[in-house]
Amino acid sequence: MELWYTEKQTENHGITTKISETLYSEKTDFQQLDIINTKQFGRMLVLDGMVMTTDVDEFVYHEMISHVALNTHPNPKKVLVVGGGDGGAIREIVKHPSVEKAVLAEIDGGVIESCKKYFPQIASELTGNPRVDVQVIDGIKHIHDHKGEYDVIMVDSTEPVGPAVGLFEKGFYQGIYDALKPDGIMVAQTESPWFNRDLIKRVFKDIGSIFPVTRLYTCSIPTYPSGLWSFTIGSKQHDPLEVDASKIKDLNTKYYNAEIHHAVFKLPNFVAELTRD
Amino acid sequence: MELWYTEKQTENHGITTKISETLYSEKTDFQQLDIINTKQFGRMLVLDGMVMTTDVDEFVYHEMISHVALNTHPNPKKVLVVGGGDGGAIREIVKHPSVEKAVLAEIDGGVIESCKKYFPQIASELTGNPRVDVQVIDGIKHIHDHKGEYDVIMVDSTEPVGPAVGLFEKGFYQGIYDALKPDGIMVAQTESPWFNRDLIKRVFKDIGSIFPVTRLYTCSIPTYPSGLWSFTIGSKQHDPLEVDASKIKDLNTKYYNAEIHHAVFKLPNFVAELTRD
């Protein structure tokens, strides 16, 4: 018997991948959580039927949501991840020696616990690291209660349906602005430039109306819709384009490097047009 | 009734896409050819069960196989496409005013004829353009008979199975070298950096043993395996990295631009390692 997991990434298109078994399933307080063992990508975390991360390609998303902003800020000490319960972003953040405190604000404790068990190499820093503070809390509430505290805030959300819908709203980006220090930076995952063009345009415009510096960048994630993924940066002061690449330190990464830091902001025309009115 | 076309891109992973109908099917002299109407990507050309091109994302592949090499050569006059029967590369090539002759050497006349009929916007320059010379011929034979003639040669092949297997061999690259002028440039499509790592390493090494300048670059193609695709350049003299971006003219493209020309050579670490021994 062959088992194949198929995700309809849009109404009309998806990926299908061979699995050996379902390792774990749970209906958490917020979503359906499944962990399957795939032949191509190793273990795969699926939330509400959407691929969140896999053993094989997780490094791309987690490095690229983290290191671009962290290397743009000259001295990031206090960093917040909203969402990101798998711990991958936290693992990358604590590679930066300047970081004194990395806070995870994840609404769904079920994600954290299952990732600790089934993705130990992703969740490796969620346990036993005194620089890491794991909080099971609504990120919107957390930023409301911590004004002016953070150097960098990352929105490591699921798709804009279900529990994450509020994380794509303009009011939330204003809340992030308020939770950042006067030279703080935010970065949010903002979906596929092929399939989610209206969303990217709206978010870029919303963040651009709040932050003086707004930038869009992309990377290749094979298990995400279209294989091309975008992130949007909002910054109060520091511009990722002005980073001196020669000063970017090697952080033992598999995707990010000093040249990639700048190259990912050079957008194909069909993506660049999403950043124009 | 819902119809879905599924391509197993590897033994264990693939894409699945909703279709309204099969427009055309033919067993040509070389391969099975199918044209289907998809909901997500418009019309889709499938050869031997593998997606070759679609209405919606064809611009990426065709622009990126063409303009990087053509803008690296200071004055490309005579250009050869090996394969590429859909005509997309030819359409991009003739955007360059310096090009006096663009030759298509496609082994399968069935591909040319069906693309003229079903993909008129891709095959638009295959008919009635006096600068275009369409030949139904084995590309290996063509280059053998035209030594020292070409400024740029593009290997626009199918996957390295079936009729295209010879187009990934070292002897073929030597033949291309011989068919190029003393400052000629070749570019070949070289599959996915996620799924075809051994092939990319071998081709890069083979081309590097023949050409003094060898470069690897990538782009995003959602209907190709993993969504990330690679091209390998071999050049006798001109280096794509030394092109003055300010001199790259706008060619009415949707993906390629002067900044992309350089950015695509900045490789993620897991791709860059394929270019090292």
C-alpha distances in Å from residue A87, one per residue of A58, A105, A132: 11, 11, 10
- Does the structure show a pLDDT above 90 at A165? no
Give the integer Cα–Cα distance in Å for A222 and B128.
Answer: 40
- Which chain A residue has its CA at the smallest distance from B253's CA? A269
Which three-class secondary structure state does DSSP give residue B133? Answer: strand
Give the pLDDT confidence score for residue B118 in this predicted structure: 98
Domain count, chain A: 2
- Which chain A residue has its CA at the smallest distance from B13's CA? A17
Whether A254 and B262 lie within 8 Å, measured CB to CB: no
> Which amino acid makes up residue A207?
I
Predicted complex ipTM: 0.97
Q: Which residues are bridge partners to A43 per DSSP?
A: A37
Q: For A119-230, where are the alpha helices, taking DSSP H only?
A: 139-144, 170-179, 197-210
All residues of chain A having their beta carbon less than 8 Å from the beta carbon of residue B220 are 194, 218, 220, 226-228, 268
**Same-domain status, A93 and A41:** no
Give the integer Cα–Cα distance in Å for B33 and B176.
Answer: 27
Query: Quick one: pLDDT band at residue A158, thresholds 50, 70, 90?
Result: confident
Question: Which CATH number is B83's domain given?
Answer: 3.40.50.150
Which three-class secondary structure state does DSSP give residue A162? Answer: helix
Q: Which of B22, B38, B54 marks a domain boundary?
A: B54
Kindly report, residue by residue over A35-59, the tens digit of the pLDDT: 999 999 999 999 999 999 999 999 9
Question: Which CATH number is B45's domain given?
Answer: 2.30.140.10
Mean pLDDT of chain A: 97
Best of A5, A17, A269 to substitute, by most chain B Cβ atoms within 10 angstroms, is A269
Which three-class secondary structure state does DSSP give residue A21? Answer: strand
CA A58 to chain centre: 11
Query: Quick one: pLDDT band at residue A161, thresholds 50, 70, 90?
Result: confident
- Does the structure show a pLDDT above 80 at A163? no
Whether B194 and A254 lie within 8 Å, measured CB to CB: no
Owning domain of residue B137: 58-275
Give the integer Cα–Cα distance in Å for A46 and A31.
Answer: 10
Per-residue pLDDT of chain B (277 residues; tens, 9 = 90+): 999 999 999 999 999 999 999 999 999 999 999 999 999 999 999 999 999 999 999 999 999 999 999 999 999 999 999 999 999 999 999 999 999 999 999 999 999 999 999 999 999 999 999 999 999 999 999 999 999 999 999 999 988 887 788 889 999 999 999 999 999 999 999 999 999 999 999 999 999 999 999 999 999 999 999 999 999 999 999 999 999 999 999 999 999 999 999 999 999 999 999 999 7
**Same-domain status, A242 and A127:** yes
Give the integer Cα–Cα distance in Å for A220 and B2.
Answer: 30
Give the integer Cα–Cα distance in Å for A106 and A115.
Answer: 12
**Same-domain status, A232 and A167:** yes
Compute the Cα dihedral for B81, B84, B90, B96 and give only its sign.
negative
**Same-domain status, A50 and A66:** no
- Which chain A residue has its CA at the smallest distance from B255's CA? A268
**Same-domain status, A35 and A69:** no
**Same-domain status, B42 and B90:** no
**Same-domain status, A102 and A187:** yes
Q: For chain B, where are the alpha helices, taking DSSP H only?
A: 58-72, 88-93, 109-118, 139-144, 170-179, 197-208, 258-263, 269-272
- Does the structure show a pLDDT above 90 at A221? yes
**Same-domain status, A103 and A25:** no
**Same-domain status, B25 and B89:** no
Provide the annotated active-site residues of B: 156
**Same-domain status, B40 and B114:** no
Measured at the alpha carbon of residue A233, what is the angle toward residues A227 and A234, in degrees to the nearest 5? 155
Give the count of beta carbons closer than 10 Å to the beta carbon of residue A142: 20
**Same-domain status, A262 and A169:** yes
All residues of chain B having their beta carbon less than 8 Å from the beta carbon of residue A263 are 262-264, 266
**Same-domain status, A91 and A198:** yes
Residue B26 main-chain phi, psi, to 5 deg:
-155, 140
- Contact partners, residue B252, CB within 8 Å, separation at least 6: B95
